[in-house]
Structure 1
């Protein structure tokens, strides 16, 4: 046995006595999350677990970790102690793991200071959801090979200086901290090869457009649409970032800012409401980076989106995701204002409970036609939609997708050459069976929870299938009229 998962039970301690010495010796992964374990003794992790590489004890009731308690596991590479809210981490708790530990999770363990941890080979360190007001500079010297650092949802008021002493840092998460300003020097000294940055849900009062210019190799950026900041504009912020591939836009969260007015004895405190809702009309006006292909709109404060927010797209293909929004429908002309996009993949699976209507994204009849859009993939399982004639395009589109996208169909040489020589080949030709499963998991809110797939079979086509026939009839009638007049 190499893996054992006993998570989500009622265990009170690590079940080392349940395993023979031989069974424990071959074990590589041990999952113990969501139990009632309160202590870890050196006897629980005796020399039995000499081959253990992965240990998850998150979501338990740990109170304290003794010194060098993990020293008997020389191969341990991944350790997750997150979400033990009353855990007390000592300076020598990880003694013995200096040469093996690669990933360490200490999220939501009520840390107010970071213990002195010496893990020179550590690659990922998660410290989110704690109470850290600052990060000691010495921490960077003890883990100089760090690639990913998560400091989200702490009490940081500035970008920590220790991030400037991590020469191999590639991912930095700072969301949810009470940082009030981002200026042109905020990220000076941070490794210029940083690829992923999360600066969402700050309480910004001051912002400069050059704050990210020292990070030219960013590929993924997560930020909030700070609607309360005058002239805040995302394309302007990304004007020099030619490598951006992924953009995650969080809806602004309301918060109150206290402003002092007057002076001396006449000084008054006034509260100003920040983070008002927006449809991104102003925040998304302009040209987006040409390599940007993945955009996510997230947050319940998004109740509407302007139909022209993606007019500045310059990539020929787009993956768009809606995540936990309050949108009831996308605008009717949304997919007619996608800039240079020719092929789009749409994902609305994740908690968009109020979304009921999706207009037809297809303005072209085949993939990768100039000045037109073709839907290459649609994910909408676990969604309740209004199933009416406006959604009947799904069945007609499915047949077109099987003809041009799915590997089970035979292409003509002309269509194959046109499609595969275009940048759209990133989607490739693939198996479409999973898409039918997705339609089975999509329900019709106005038809008593009927599966969308069944509704399409019964009564939702509404003339979409006859569109090509109608076009042919019109052409035939026009030809007859011309012939009669000519005769």
Structure 2
């Protein structure tokens, strides 16, 4: 049964009303689509929260006490704000299953993101990421990793440890090659490489056993027809 829900979605707020901070029993707190710029440390008192939605605001930072919300086991939305960094305390949210930090001017993710042991989906699309932490490989339950429209030039070898990964979205980055580590992903079904300045593609792509869709549109050159034939023969759709 769902517990108390506090929703001030699209309420035209520039500050959170005082009465909200009395609702520390809330299990769902929605402050999305307002004009909020500051979140007080008081947020750390909401230890019953399982879902927190702060998306579509104007936050430039979130407090370290966000890491005190260890009951979060549903969703944490931080997308479409003005965050330039995330607190390392985010790694305390060991039960969190979904994290969206997209559409922020983030240049990096904290190393502690690898401590989110239950994370199933991570979205960091349309940020300014230039690299990924090696600790991503510790997300053993991760199924979807969406990194569209960043500035990534390389991928960490630790991605080979994401044995539950189904979807890897890398559209619109600056990748010129793919690490051999990706060949170790037994459940990868969708690989989106659109708009990357890739060189020749490796033959091991055809060996990914679960691959169903490979998107290569808007890359510099067409893939080797033999690679495409091998993939399509086993049921993988290749777009180029």
TM-score where L is the length of structure 1? 0.40
Q: Does the CA-based 8 Å contact 1:106-1:128 persist in structure 2?
A: yes
CA distance in 2, matches of 1:88, 1:159: 20
1:77 to 2:102 alignment = no
Aligned length: 212
Shift in CA distance, 6/87, structure 1 to aligned 2, threshold 3 Å: farther
Offset of residue 75 of structure 1: 2.2
User: Structure 1 residue 201: deviation in Å?
Assistant: 1.1
Cα distance, 1:90–1:51 mapped onto 2, change above 3 Å: closer
1:47-81 deviations in Å (ceiling 9; x for gaps): 4x51441011011111222323241x332100011
Deviation at 1:212, TM superposition (A): 2.2
Please tell me whether residue 208 in structure 1 is matched to residue 185 in structure 2: no
Q: Which secondary structure state, in structure 2, belongs to the residue aligned with residue 43 of structure 1? A: helix
Partner secondary structure for residue 149 of structure 1? strand
Any idea what SS the aligned residue of 1:164 has?
A: helix
Work out which of the residue numbers 5, 10, 16 in structure 1 matches 2:35.
10
8 Å Cα contact 1:40-1:69 kept in structure 2: no
Query: Which of 188, 206, 220 is the matching residue for 1:169?
Result: 188
CA shift in 2, pair 1:135/1:102, >3 Å: same
Aligned partner of 2:160 in structure 1 is 140
CA distance in 1, matches of 2:154, 2:44: 43
1:103 is matched with which residue: 121, 142, 145? 121
- Of 68, 71, 77, the residue aligned with 2:89 is 68
Match of 2:64 in 1: 42
> Aligned partners of 1:217, 1:29: CA distance in 2, in Å?
40
Instruction: Give matches, 1:211-250, under 5 Å.
Output: 211-215=227-231, 216-218=233-235, 220-221=237-238, 223-224=239-240
Q: Runs of 5+ in structure 2 lacking a partner?
A: 6-26
Paired position in structure 2 for 1:28:
50
Given that 2:99 and 2:123 are in contact with CA atoms closer than 8 Å, whether structure 1 keeps it comes out as yes
Displacement after TM superposition at 1:4 (Å): 3.7
Once the 2 structures are TM-superposed, how far is the Cα of residue 8 of structure 1 from its aligned partner? 1.6
Return the alpha-carbon distance in structure 2 between the equivalents of residues 34 and 14 of structure 1: 14
The structure with the largest strand share of the pair is 1
**Corresponding position of 1:199:** 216
Structure 1 segment 472-487 matched on structure 2, within 5 A: none
| 5+ long unaligned stretches in structure 1 | 225-487
CA shift, 1:219, in A, is 5.2
Any residues of structure 2 matched to 1:306-385 within 5 Å, and which?
none
Contact 1:192–1:214 (8 Å) recurs in 2: no
More displaced, 6-15 or 149-158?
Answer: 6-15
Distance change >3 Å, CA 109–CA 12, structure 1 → 2 = same
- Separation (CA, whole Å) in 2 of partners of 1:63 and 1:20: 24
Q: What is the deviation of 1:127? A: 1.7
Instruction: Measure, in 2, the Cα distance between the counterparts of 1:16 and 1:53.
Output: 21
Aligned-residue Cα RMSD (Å) equals: 2.6
What is the correspondence of 1:267-306 to structure 2 with a 5 Å cutoff? none
| CA–CA distance in structure 2, aligned partners of residues 174 and 149 of structure 1 | 9
Instruction: Rate the CA distance shift 1:158–1:116 in 2: closer, same or farther, 3 A.
Output: closer
Aligned partner of 1:150 in structure 2 is 169
Following superposition, the deviation at residue 160 of structure 1 comes to 3.5
Contact 1:14/1:44, CA 8 A, preserved across alignment? no
Judge conservation of contact 2:44–2:68 (CA < 8 Å) in 1: no
